Structure 1
Amino acid sequence: MKIEFAPLNIPLARRLQTAAVLQWVLSFLLLAQVCVGIIVILIIYNYWFLYVPYLTWLYLDWQTPEQGGRRCNWVRSWTVWKHFIDYFPVHLIKTWDLDPSHNYIFGFHPHGVLVVGAFGNFCTNYSDFKKLFPGFTAYLHVLPVWFRCPLFREYLMTGGTVSVSKKSLSHVLSKEGGGNISVIVLGGAKESLDAHPGKFTLFIQKRKGFVKTALAHGAYLVPVFSFGENEVYKQVSNPKGSWLRTMQEKMQKIVGFTLPLFHARGIFQYSIGLVPYRKPIHTVVGRPIPVHQTPDPSPQQVEELHQTYLEALRQLFEEHKGKYGVPEHETLIFK
């Protein structure tokens, strides 16, 4: 394979953008393990005056990811996130005004490999979220397993992430007076295995828990499609039935998540590496679907609202795909 090296005269701003994205990718891949390792080392060398207070705190604070988390505006405002946003760049597009007297569930699609658009738009202060949706607070719901990692969980919560558990969703959506948004990446880890450039496969047909939750709390549903999410990485080919796909799916069933074998460019060359490609990401927020609060919805009510959501999602994609480089013949595939 021929290596294409980056030119030496790249502007400093672009180098800072690359560094910002690289640290984020490495944090996603390695920081949890490093944090667990730090605790293990402290225990092995008996630094009890460090690990005993922290583990006590961890025990007392265990439920915080299900109780709105602990965001930190100082961390969300780090300059590194501005460079992160500018690298791709990441854009947030509003198509409809939201009423801040209601609570909402944003269904985010597609998952992509690392959910770049969801993080950039809802976990930093450098997107247009506050300008486009004044009076709202967004919570990005992620797998509970990440909050079981000591130290890492503290860093994760600073961006505004919380658990995707039923209890956590209920806490966010029960706010009196409205103004809360639960952002849920509905396709989950399973969908990430189909996050190939040019593909629009969404694992949504059997995902109905979010609909039931919306009905139980009267939270309005909003489809969100992030154009370009699947373009920032390539994956090693993993068709259904291949040994790689089988192993990835087994991992997903055992631990709740899986990791695509992804690749893109490097730091000083454009041919291979873990740094994502510079592809623009346009996260389009659709029109809200009004939901009447139904504490104990019937299966038929859930199914009807689920179909309404799928239709709204498909319409959102069809209306905007031409603006963001998607060929006219491409359409969403629901699995």
Structure 2
Amino acid sequence: MHLMGIDFAPLNVPLARRLQTLAVFHHVSMFFFAGIFGTIYLTFLLITPFFWVTWLYVAWYIYDLGQSSRGGRRFELMRRLPLWNWLRDYFPCRIIKTSDLDPTHNYLIGYHPHGLMAIGAFCNLLTEANGFSRLFPGITPYLLSLKLMHYFPLYREYVMSLGVCDVSKESITHIMKGRGVAATIVIGGAREVLDAVPGVTRLTLKNRKGFARMALQTGCHLVPSFSFGENYLFRLLLDNTPGSFTRNLTQSITKKLGVAPAFFVGRGVFNYTFGIMPYRVPVTTVVGSSIEVEHTPDPTQDQVDSLHREYLSQLESLFYAHREACGYPNETLEFIDN
């Protein structure tokens, strides 16, 4: 139904699609609002007879604050919720494996592009929605995120239960003490949000070499991955082309806060015209072959640069080898500075 310039969803939407929308609404709400609402809720309890709940949680929070750097606190049940199957089917999300991962080694999976939510990383490389454990038997997945996410009360408990840890050096070093671990890093980070536009995939990767250094220091193999469709889930409202006023302003804010103030629009829960819900665009995550890395506790800059160049080459080859089959034959790839 079209009314006042808004395309509303019909009333007779099948139950399966309603469940898919519910799952995505849950994920988007948690991603954007759970941290703030958790803080407000605990603050509100202070003026109620349940004020003691907040003080108990504050004591726990202080004691447990560094857990996101010590492997988190994962619960397999959370990774296997039917909710993630509905989330998968909304877009839909799918994963393409190009080679096996040997469970006797550890891996750093580089995920590209960030988009606004890195939904492919969450759905395909963290949950069991597309059978990660079946595709990569013996591999335990982690998703590494901005440290800031783990400072929000209550929300930190939620993301850690899924297997999300922070992306600090301490965190990676701790995780890689085990065997058969695959930790996914969205290498482009918040700055890449500003380039989440169709047509040209710009990856903030040219000067980001910390992941290569960590791979050498921990001896874990590097695995490039690329999600086609990730940059098509939302539409940026302002001109963010390099050199524009908006780009310079948002980059300055991102540098100070660590998060990108992107102005975007998607669809709504009950309409197709505007809202904070992503569009129903297929997201296909292609996981490449691993790059063998020799354990080098104190790597030289030349060794880091060499591994970084090899990674970029493998990622570029992966992109152009699969872009047509994934529905983006004219998409191009660029590596840009921070």
The answer as to 2:59 corresponding to 1:51 is no
Structure 1 residues 269 and 49, CA gap change in structure 2 (3 angstroms)? closer
Give 2:290's aligned residue.
288
Q: Quote the residue 2:161 is aligned against.
A: 158
Q: Is the 8 A contact 1:92 1:128 kept in 2?
A: no
Alignment match, 1:148: 151
Deviation, 1:113, is 0.9
Give the distance between the partners of 1:27 and 1:243, measured in 2 at CA: 31
Number of the residue aligned with 1:217: 218
Q: Deviations over 1:278-309 (max 9, x none)?
A: 11111000011000111100000000110000
- Show CA shifts across 1:144-187 (max 9, x none): 01111111100111111000000001111121xx2001100000
TM-score of the superposition, structure 1-length normalised? 0.95
- Taking the aligned partners of 1:128 and 1:322, their CA distance within structure 2 comes to 24
Letter in 2 for 1:228: G
The answer for unaligned runs of 5 or more in structure 2 is none
Residue 101 of structure 2 corresponds to 98
CA contact (8 A) 2:218 2:296 kept: yes
Partner of 2:194: 193
The whole-number CA distance in structure 1 between the counterparts of 2:204 and 2:309 is: 14
CA distance in 1, matches of 2:141, 2:88: 17
Counterpart secondary structure, 1:118: helix
Q: Bigger shift: 23-32 or 209-218? A: 23-32
**Structure 2 residue corresponding to 1:240, chosen from 234, 239, 242:** 242
C-alpha deviation, 1:251, in angstroms: 2.2
Task: Report if the CA contact (8 A) 1:199-1:230 is conserved.
Answer: no
Q: Alignment partner for residue 261 of structure 1, among 260, 263, 269? A: 263
2:206 maps to a residue whose letter is: Q
Indicate yes or no: 2:158 matched with 1:131. Answer: no
Residue 46 of structure 1, CA deviation = 7.2
Q: Which runs of 5+ in 1 are unaligned?
A: none
Greater Cα shift, 3-12 or 285-294 = 3-12
The answer to whether 1:308 aligns with 2:310 is: yes
Deviates more, 1:77-86 or 1:29-38: 77-86
Q: Which amino acid aligns with 2:237?
A: V
- How far apart are the structure 1 equivalents of 2:100 and 2:127? 21
Identify the residue that residue 79 of structure 1 maps to in structure 2: 82
Counterpart CA distance in 2 for 1:87 and 1:189 is: 25
Residue 49 of structure 1 and its aligned partner are, at CA, apart by 2.1
In the alignment, the residues of structure 1 paired with residue 181 and residue 78 of structure 2 have an alpha-carbon distance, to the nearest angstrom, of: 20
Is the CA contact 1:120–1:127 (under 8 Å) kept in the aligned structure 2?
A: yes
Give, in angstroms, the shift of residue 277 of structure 1: 0.9
Q: After superposition, what is the alpha-carbon deviation per residue over 1:245-286, rounded to whole angstroms, capped at 9, x for unaligned?
A: 333222212221123212121222212111111111110000
Task: Show CA shifts across 1:108-154 (max 9, x none).
Answer: 00001111101111332222211100101111000001111111100
Q: Aligned to 2:291, what secondary structure does the other structure show?
A: coil
Which residue identity lines up with residue 65 of structure 1 in the other structure? Answer: S
2:70 and 2:171 in contact (8 A); partners too: yes
Q: Which of 17, 20, 44 lines up with 1:17 in the alignment?
A: 20
3-state DSSP class of the match of 1:322? coil
Aligned length, in residue pairs: 332
CA distance in 1, matches of 2:101, 2:285: 16
The TM-score with structure 2 as length reference comes to 0.94
Letter in 2 for 1:261: F
Structure 2 match to 1:207: 208
